[in-house]
Structure 1
Amino acid sequence: MKLILTDCRIFTSGVDLSGASNKVELSAEAEERDATNFRSGGWKEVVAGLTSGTVSAEGHWSAGDPAAVDDATWAQLGGRGPWTVCPEEATVGALAYTTVALRTSYKLGAQVGEIAPWSAEAATSGPVVRGAIAHPPGIARSGSGAGEPIEIGTVPTGGRLVAALHILSASGTGTLAVTVETAPAEDAWTEPETSVFFDPTGQPGGQMVSVVAPTAGPWARPTWTVDGTASFLLVLALSVQP
């Protein structure tokens, strides 16, 4: 199936860059290390060394709001935070790639008469993982509740469950506490295992948590508790790291 990129979603820490972007690239690579020896059969033999990745994006410049690309990029430049990139959409179950990355560069400006552009890059400071959206943007949460279960697959022995949380907005007074529950079946939520805990917060921002393979699975769902009268918009992506 061919895919035309028309509705990519880009989340970095507590900011949704989707509406300010028209290009995004995510790359991952492993260093090639020569392991050739006299018993390699006359062929070069290589093994993987360190792995690394980059995230780059560009689009139309805007400023004057904490969620605007200029304000957000200046605030994050030189800092680390989670990134989530969705090739098509950010609905529950949609394909998502996540990583923690260091904001390394920011470029803006062009010639007279052009729409003001921007471009930025970030270097990964952890694994790039492939997973799915567990909580979509655009749904305000208050009080307590649980999201729709998704099947993330069984985390293998020695593997990790990786969760990336983006809190996009906060209104009112109070804090948000988010967890991820796992269970062996889609309808087995009477005694789920709480596998991921995020730090409670009352402000926009991002967190990434990586935990050693939970005993329950392969189903997962988000839960949230809002202490106070606040309301929050958030995005959550879950991935299995072998």
Structure 2
Amino acid sequence: MGKFTLLDTRLFAPGTDLSGASNKIELSSEIEDKDATNYRSGGWKEVIGGLGSAEISGEGQWEAGDPGMVDDASWADLGGTGPYTVCPTDAVVGALAYFTNGLRANYTIGDAVGELAPWSGTVKSNWPLVRGQIAHPPGLARTTTGTGTPLNLGAIPAGRRLYAALHVLSAAGTTPSLTARIESDDAAGFTSPTTRLTFAAAPGPGGQILRGDGTAVTDSYFRVAWTVTGTTPSFMFAVSLGIR
């Protein structure tokens, strides 16, 4: 990816797509530096890495009156934790995505008379910030059981983990239910898939995030698969995958 202008950045809160109500999104990640200087440090300060942290901040145009709008979603999420995914350019399959499990730490609204009503908010990380890819796009309705496009994420070395975030953005039908899982295989054809992570059944909008146990995985291809049940069910959802 070369240089580009921010025109179609995407922001997914637990069960809401806030992209259309946002005009600024910032990501930051840092490792705390701990002073390890001693008499054998050669006269220079010596530091080692300590605790890591990440933050997502956003702002944009205030809207309210529907669970999918920023005010309703922000009040519902404030003080709680869940998955947050940011895509710099778009949310098509394979698009670059950054995601984490975070605490919705604050929410601010209001400005001077005559100004377009704004909002702003911050998410503080509870898990590492993961650099990955979109495994399922948000704008594609699913009405039946199926599988997504394979992604070549590479093998997972021991000590690293597979991370996956699920954002269920809408649900329709009578008693609809979506159960998503992450599968891996050693080839793109997925002739012998292995389930690595399984999300809880989702009856409606909401978010979930999972991670592996740090065991090495030699498979290099990963995909999302899902089971849909109910009477005339229909789900819109986004999934991000990554290894860290």
Q: What is the TM-score when the length of structure 1 is the normalising length?
A: 0.97
- Matched AA of 1:143: T
Q: CA-to-partner distance for each residue in 1:167-210, whole Å, 9 max, x for gaps?
A: 000001221110111011212x1211111100011110000000
May I ask how many residue pairs the two structures share in their alignment?
240
The reply on whether 1:103 has 2:104 as its aligned counterpart is: yes
Give the 3 Å change call, closer, same or farther, for CA 170–81 of structure 1 in structure 2.
same
SS in 2 for 1:78: coil
Q: CA deviation at 1:215?
A: 2.8
Q: Which residue of the partner structure matches residue 187 of structure 2?
A: 185
Q: CA deviation at 1:216?
A: 4.4
Q: Which residue of the partner structure matches residue 217 of structure 2?
A: 215
Q: CA-to-partner distance for each residue in 1:108-147, whole Å, 9 max, x for gaps?
A: 1111111100000111111101000000011111221111
- Matched AA of 1:185: A
SS in 2 for 1:90: coil
Equivalent of residue 175 in structure 1, options 174, 177, 187: 177
Counterpart-to-counterpart distance in 2, 1:98 and 1:113: 35
Query: More deviation in 232-241 or 208-217?
Result: 208-217
Task: Confirm or deny: 8 A CA contact 1:178 1:222 kept in the other structure.
Answer: yes
The reply on whether 1:132 has 2:138 as its aligned counterpart is: no
Counterpart-to-counterpart distance in 2, 1:152 and 1:237: 12
How do 1:41-80 residues align onto structure 2 when only pairs under 5 Å count? 41-80=42-81
Task: Confirm or deny: 8 A CA contact 1:141 1:232 kept in the other structure.
Answer: yes
Q: Percent identity?
A: 52
Task: Confirm or deny: 8 A CA contact 2:135 2:239 kept in the other structure.
Answer: yes
Q: What is the TM-score when the length of structure 2 is the normalising length?
A: 0.96
Task: Confirm or deny: 8 A CA contact 1:193 1:216 kept in the other structure.
Answer: no
Task: Confirm or deny: 8 A CA contact 2:154 2:220 kept in the other structure.
Answer: yes
Q: Which residue of the partner structure matches residue 149 of structure 2?
A: 148
Counterpart-to-counterpart distance in 2, 1:66 and 1:214: 40
Task: Confirm or deny: 8 A CA contact 1:182 1:216 kept in the other structure.
Answer: no
Q: CA deviation at 1:214?
A: 5.6
Counterpart-to-counterpart distance in 2, 1:204 and 1:167: 5
Counterpart-to-counterpart distance in 1, 2:55 and 2:146: 35
Counterpart-to-counterpart distance in 1, 2:192 and 2:220: 15
- Matched AA of 1:111: A
Counterpart-to-counterpart distance in 1, 2:191 and 2:106: 47
Q: CA deviation at 1:37?
A: 1.2
Equivalent of residue 240 in structure 1, options 233, 236, 243: 243
Task: Confirm or deny: 8 A CA contact 1:13 1:207 kept in the other structure.
Answer: yes
Task: Confirm or deny: 8 A CA contact 2:156 2:218 kept in the other structure.
Answer: no
Task: Confirm or deny: 8 A CA contact 2:84 2:101 kept in the other structure.
Answer: yes
- Matched AA of 2:62: W
CA RMSD in angstroms comes to 1.0
Query: More deviation in 114-123 or 205-214?
Result: 205-214
Counterpart-to-counterpart distance in 1, 2:19 and 2:218: 34
- Matched AA of 1:30: I
SS in 1 for 2:143: coil
Counterpart-to-counterpart distance in 2, 1:165 and 1:100: 11
Q: Which residue of the partner structure matches residue 93 of structure 1?
A: 94
Runs of 4+ in 1 over 3 A off after TM superposition: none
Counterpart-to-counterpart distance in 2, 1:12 and 1:164: 10
Counterpart-to-counterpart distance in 2, 1:118 and 1:214: 43
Counterpart-to-counterpart distance in 2, 1:232 and 1:206: 13
User: Which runs of 5 or more structure 2 residues have no equivalent in the other structure?
Assistant: none
Task: Confirm or deny: 8 A CA contact 2:64 2:70 kept in the other structure.
Answer: yes
